[in-house]
Chains A and B, each alone.
Chain A
């Protein structure tokens, strides 16, 4: 029993140590970068999300962006003088 545990330990150790000996890819062709979620994927915590669009629905998100940006445009509330 003890011997088997020892074998398993060894195997685990080997698994941990050995990859360190291998040469890492040196070119950046295969990037280590993680992939990101889409911007239109809403966070789990919905309390921060502005209502009016649906998660993972790119079109509704883009529409929301177009509405939201009008907050930066006071002309959308005060028309220019004629």
Chain B
């Protein structure tokens, strides 16, 4: 019998509406350019089997929690936290029902994200499930991970460490910390490593923005984004060069697209037509690694047309005349075209847009930083902005987007091999200052170190493998590295993966402390070459909490600090990183010293840990250089509770009184963006835009830092007459403040008696009372770090004026001849570092590896990707590792869209058993015919082989793929040891099997 349809709804159903027709037409048109997602979704439908079951179980889990307390009402709490992925700092309200994180709600009040999230942010609740996480401590026994107890793990690890220390000294262990630690944990880890007695520590910033931090700080003072995501709403033009914000910092695009809607001109310069480029008014394609030729090509037109801000340069910039000479002579349009592939008209157009639409901002990320000449590229960007007078100006600035939620904070106060927290360096004076703050004896710390090593910068995370593998006589420390801690860091984010496997096998001790340690775990467990295998190697995995299971502050890219509340109790057997630090310190014999200033609090199971608030208070007491001193936990928490009072363009609070504490928010900038000088009581509002002399210093204003002396070769480095922050008593340039200058100016008596005692013999960075800062700023309106010029010429760097140099692996021998790399360096961050040797040896490499290989982010994943690939909601969206290849390059190789290909690169020549990377081809015009692009978030496949059997049970990410770092090549920045990931060479062939 026929089922009959209700007659009333029949009318019109048969005829296609115009809308349907239009959509159908659009979809038909869409097929030739199938998008990444549709392309990838095809294959992996089966991957999710089993996932649905687990999700059903989650619902049940909540019910179970309910049933546990019969009769009692549901206990629902809302906890405010911050997304743990990129550096935008999106606030999240987590809804917790009887201890289970059941929902997440948008925080419309947040001035930073206004409730908005990208795929990662909208999916963070999965962290509250933690199904694919490491659940308990494990040890590698006979090639398999076995569960062990925390006590056993801590005992064995500490015994191994002490044995290594005895045999080979404290520098034989390398501790890689994390940009995913909160500020308190990052700071505590630097202290922990110091008490262990080594500077061999580092974190993600090395391989992300170290070149920016060094380049920018040496140009004008601080190594950080000058303005904010929000301030970009005030820009009239924006140039993104080396940033794919639409994928890497999606919520930043909310502010940019708002600005664009209001007339801001958007330029994107990139070797790849990114999703950010798709939103731009002007897209410029350059050859990977040729940012300097392009930027100076633009600058050429700025100078030629007199568009530079002459008054600004006169008052605030040192050395621009020399740059001008070089740019006009050297970077003529023909040279620019030859080097980067951009013609004169385009450079002129970009220069004109940037000059005629001031304030204009410049945005960069890894596209500029991850090169052997990264430090020079970022300085070229700084120079363009200085020439246009765009720094220290709302709407202008160098908007440098950082990568992780707390990479800025970890850079500022975390585990860095060349500095104590707050960029104090490693000189004896700095150690003495910190010994005082830490309330320990300087001589005791000194004894923890191997003789003479206390002031010597450690190795970097980018080179730890060489610390293991390099000949002992060539390294600048007694022993090679024998122990390695990955404390919240992926292995697949560092280049030269094939050599890393070798290094991992040679270690005596490998400890991975992470909620998702699995990439390292699998890599360590998979069989390597027998001759590399250290028979005594011990491998431990310790489950750490995520940031949702602890509390603390994190610093967003715009230098704003936000306080996270603890959302849930630690899952499974995981423990917070600071708890693990304290417990390991106890076993290693410096537990008391580590936590003596902190309040200890009982956590799940009665386990004690240092209270994050009291760690932050210690940070407040010692980081005067960068103004992490004013952000007390109380102020930060008041900001989190009252986000609605902050303006989204200026980030400034208009009125507002915190109900809980009575704290007046009026005038504060959201998150007290550092520098927030002085004590919390001084109530500095934070600095929304650095070096902005249109504001009073107590209003967050400033000027360029006097950090490089007062004169150079007879030329003053101090700011010109009349150039000063608003309301300053000194109306010309001045050096940084110390007790002598205060006395000379007659300001000494403005200090209280107690402050005088503390400030005697000290300067603005070392006066622990904050008195010097208070008097200079609050009483006299001056800047404690002085008032100087920015440096267009950074004379202490290898290339004082940024110089283009071809990458070590380039397919352009003619350009290598014209723009050769540096000479080799003998002992650089304790290791010999090659430049010319490698480049010369490979100058014809383009014959065998003709394609330029570059890498970057996908919106769904972050970093090494284990965490995000363990999240089913994200994993489903990107199920395969792929390579973007231009139709021409693909056709020449007989490759069709969606087919598997092998990617081969030079390092694989030395490892014949490694067949290459087997990935899918995405044939697209996003890349040009000589460039291919690979995402860097995958791991878990190795030369075509699935590493699934080597993962610890139950801690395998949902999606695995070939890791791009098995293909990347040698090459390091000449200042910071940043690795080269953006420009190397490869060959691609169709996979037949």
Contact = CB atoms under 8 A, between A and B. Distances in A.
A26 B3 contact: yes
B6 A28 contact: yes
A77 B4 contact: no
A18 to B, nearest CB: 21
A69 B649 CA distance: 21
A29 B3 contact: no
Contact of A47 (B5, B76, B114, B254): B76
A48 B108 contact: no
Contacts of A28: 3-6
A25 to B, nearest CB: 10
A81 B263 CA distance: 9
Nearest to A27: B4
A74 B648 contact: yes
A45 interface: yes
B74 to A, nearest CB: 6
A78 B6 CA distance: 50
A77 B3 contact: no
Given A26-B1, A48-B76, A81 B262 contact: yes
A78 B261 CA distance: 12
Contacts of A77: 114, 648
Interface string A38-59: 0000000101100000000000
A78 B106 contact: no
B233 A78 contact: yes
A81 B262 CA distance: 7
B115 interface: yes
Interface string A59-76: 000000000000110100
Interface residues of B, number: 22
A71 to B, nearest CB: 4
A80 interface: yes
Contacts of B254: 74
A71 B258 contact: no
A71 B115 contact: yes
Nearest to B263: A81
Contact of A71 (B5, B95, B108, B649): B108
Nearest to B108: A71
B818 to A, nearest CB: 46
Contacts of B5: 28
Interface in B102-161: 103, 106, 108, 114-115
Contacts of A72: 115
Given A45-B74, A47-B76, A81-B262, A74 B114 contact: yes
Nearest to A73: B114
Nearest to A71: B108
| Chain A interface residue number, banded | 10 to 19
A74 B6 contact: no
A74 B74 contact: no
Given A28-B4, A47-B76, A74 B258 contact: yes
Interface string A1-39: 000000000000000000000000011110000000000
Interface-central residue, A26, A28, A29, A81, by most chain B CB under 10 Å:
A81
Contacts of B4: 26-28
Given A26-B4, A28-B3, A29-B6, A78 B108 contact: no
Contacts, number: 37
Contacts of B95: 48
B74 A47 contact: yes
Nearest to B650: A78
Given A26-B4, A74-B114, A74-B254, A80 B106 contact: no
B104 to A, nearest CB: 12
A78 B258 contact: yes
A29 B6 CA distance: 6
Contacts of A78: 233, 258, 648-649
B3 to A, nearest CB: 7
Interface string B253-285: 010001001110000000000000000000000
A28 B10 CA distance: 13
Contacts of B115: 71-72
A45 B73 CA distance: 10
Nearest to B77: A47
B255 to A, nearest CB: 9
Contacts of B74: 45, 47
Nearest to A79: B649
Interface in B1-53: 1-6
Nearest to A75: B258
Contacts of B108: 71
Nearest to B646: A77
B851 to A, nearest CB: 42
A29 B3 CA distance: 10
Interface in B192-239: 233
A75 to B, nearest CB: 8
A23 to B, nearest CB: 9
Contacts of B2: 26
Nearest to B78: A47
A80 B261 CA distance: 9
Interface-central residue, B2, B106, B114, B648, by most chain A CB under 10 Å:
B114
Interface string B644-676: 000011000000000000000000000000000
A5 to B, nearest CB: 36
A45 B1 CA distance: 45
A80 B1 CA distance: 62
Nearest to A23: B1
A71 B261 CA distance: 18
A22 to B, nearest CB: 15
A48 B3 CA distance: 42
Nearest to A81: B262
A74 B648 CA distance: 9
A20 B34 CA distance: 52
Contacts of B648: 74, 77-78
Nearest to A26: B1
A47 B1 CA distance: 50
B640 to A, nearest CB: 18
B93 to A, nearest CB: 12
A29 B115 CA distance: 45
A82 to B, nearest CB: 10
A4 B572 CA distance: 59
Nearest to B233: A78
Interface string B929-948: 00000000000000000000
A28 B649 CA distance: 57
Nearest to A46: B76
Contacts of A45: 74, 76
A80 B263 CA distance: 10
Contacts of B3: 26-28
A29 B74 CA distance: 42
B290 to A, nearest CB: 35
B643 to A, nearest CB: 11
B314 to A, nearest CB: 31
A78 B254 CA distance: 12
B806 to A, nearest CB: 44
A77 B644 CA distance: 10
A71 B262 contact: no
Contacts of B76: 45, 47-48
A80 B262 CA distance: 7
A66 to B, nearest CB: 14
B670 to A, nearest CB: 13
A80 B260 CA distance: 11
Contacts of B263: 81
B566 to A, nearest CB: 19
A45 B254 CA distance: 34
7 contacts: A27-B4, A28-B4, A48-B95, A74-B258, A78-B648, A78-B649, A80-B261
Given A29-B6, A47-B76, A74-B254, 8 more contacts: A28-B3, A28-B4, A45-B76, A48-B103, A71-B114, A72-B115, A77-B648, A81-B263
Interface of B: 1-6, 74, 76, 95, 103, 106, 108, 114-115, 233, 254, 258, 261-263, 648-649
Q: Which 7 A-B pairs have the closest CB atoms?
A: A47-B76, A71-B108, A27-B4, A81-B262, A78-B648, A77-B648, A26-B1
